[in-house]
Structure 1
Amino acid sequence: MKYFLCILLLLANATALLAQRSHRMPPRSNGELYIPNVSATIKPGDTILLSGKYKIINLNEVNGTAEKPIVIYAWHPVTVGVGASNYGIMVQGRYWKFLGAGHTTVYNPDYTLNVLFNAGNSRFFSIDSVSLRNGQVGIFALPADSATHGDVRITNCSIAQIKGARTAGKSQAIHIGATNVALADTVGYRSVQIAHCSLSGIDGVGIQVVGTRTTLIEDVRIDSFGRAALPFQNSGIVVGPHVALQLQQSHISTGTGPAVSIFSAGVQRIAQCVFMQTATAADQDAVYIEQKQSKDAVANITLTDVQINGANRYGVHNVLAKPVRLIRVQISKAGKAKTFGPVVLAK
């Protein structure tokens, strides 16, 4: 009955989308879908319908409104990226939703894609139910200017086989925010939500968020990360400066570096998570905390109901002067000690 109701709901949503003003967008003869100014013909509230095989999808000026976002919807199975280089999908604008409907795949078997899904400097956007694999970066978004650059939602996505981490470059399944951390106090999103996603086979970082004032990561699974074992490119989740994190009900396993690395002031909450067989490389910790302190804030970090099983060095390594609070945290198989640095233990 549950699955029957889900099918009915999907059909109802598809019918509602098709009832709106819709635009079918088949690939051109060269396999590309490139529209430099979507807003010239497609208005807020419209739906862009995708179907079939595309070499690339490049949509610019996709500008809806808060009340009437532009919806990009895979109404039939969609494959993007075969034969392409640099990127598979690029969408830039504001107030748009990309609905992959569970049958949208972005990949290139030759690993020629630098970014599988590039949201550029978009703001107020969401990406749902897309499968991405065989690239250097899975999903990338780089806000252009203000500290309240909008909201981001990434849900129900699968990202795998992210390769190409190197000393002079980066490899991440998801990167949201400034690439130059020095800009994090002025450049960032207002909020980010990453939920119900699966990330695996990553040379570098699973998720990196920088400069986002409110970040919620929930029900996310990250397996086999940091495979290139490079410094600062080996964590399951990296929390950059000026991020307030809430990480909950997630499972992070099998990585050379920390399950979570925190480099931010402000409130950080980790709850109901399992970190298994992480920090396997030399001198690596399952949870590493080194605040990059802002001018007017200090870190306030709590781990609650967290299981940590395995770390080459410490289960929780705190470099802060202020203690980290651990509530019902179980740490086992830590190489040197369960914790290092100021820590307050509570049952």
Structure 2
Amino acid sequence: MAIEIQKASNAAEALGIAHSRMSWAVQANLASVYPDEFRDADTSMQAADKAYSEKAYDASIALANDVVRIISDDLMAEVNALREAEAQLAADKAIADEVMPKAQDRIEWADLNNIKADYPEVYNSAHSAMEAAQKAYQIEKYAAATQLANEVLSTLSSEFEAKVTADRAEKARLAAEAKAKEEAEKEAQALIAQNKKYAEVAISDARSRYDWAASKNAANNYPDLFKEGGNLLADAQTAFNALDYVRAKDLAAQAYWTLMEIGEFAPLPATYKVRLIPERRDCLWRIAEYQFVYNNPYKWPVLYEANKKTFKDPSNPNLIFPDQVLTIPSIKGEVRQGAWDPKKTYQPLPK
């Protein structure tokens, strides 16, 4: 009796810690950032509570510890850091929203006063900084956008405006500036051609990787990565068609490295839901024989030992029911995660 009371006490303590982690996860909106981890932790939490209510204290402790393992200190620190980064991003955006219009006003002044013709280097410097600021703003690099916008303000300052007024009387200077403009335009065209070539190569590489992933059933094996890579590739092509070759190259590179995370096979499943198969009834022997389980029917005792506490009759390994979820322990160090999905392609476990 004393042992049982101690187990109950230990289980209650473990549940308290796990519930604390889940409360933090809800407050931190973990489901929006790490949906898989939140789902797994929530599933384990519910199972731990259920096990405790059924006085299965050892199972309750194990499941509660699983919640703590999933919502680890490292994960909490990472999420908190992410939230802090979001707050910093919002602060940077507020500053950029104040500075960017001022810089745009100076660009419009330069356009109205034909500064590009007389002072192409100054204009190109400011205009390039403005374009870079706008691009940085579009990709939420607000601090960089602010710095570049300040460069515009510094370049097209009131002192510079006064200088323009005085220098307009000097024809020789106009001729020299016209020549500089021509050279700058040539450099810009050369840069565009170079960037176009880089973008073409990057898009081609990403497309090849996408096609390979599609041929390996990535749409089902790694749906999130495959979708993300495809979207990035589509965005890269859109940017290329809009002649934004630098952005096209960057997006294509992101698509390529995202798709590189896709393997030839999906990770082996960690759970299996018993199916109702009239012509070949599921049993532990046959389930263990599945290639994505153990590829060996003689390994059925491993499934039994790992799951018998969940059986209606723990002493009867033959009594399993359709929709019963079985845990599949790793026996060869293989990585297992998620539930078995008939749409996914799994590499058979070596016998």
TM-score bucket (shorter structure): under 0.3
- RCO higher in structure (CA 8 A, sep ≥6): 2
What is the TM-score when the length of structure 1 is the normalising length? 0.21
What is the TM-score when the length of structure 2 is the normalising length? 0.21
Q: Which has the larger radius of gyration?
A: 2
Structure with the bigger percentage of helix: 2
Structure with the bigger percentage of strand: 1
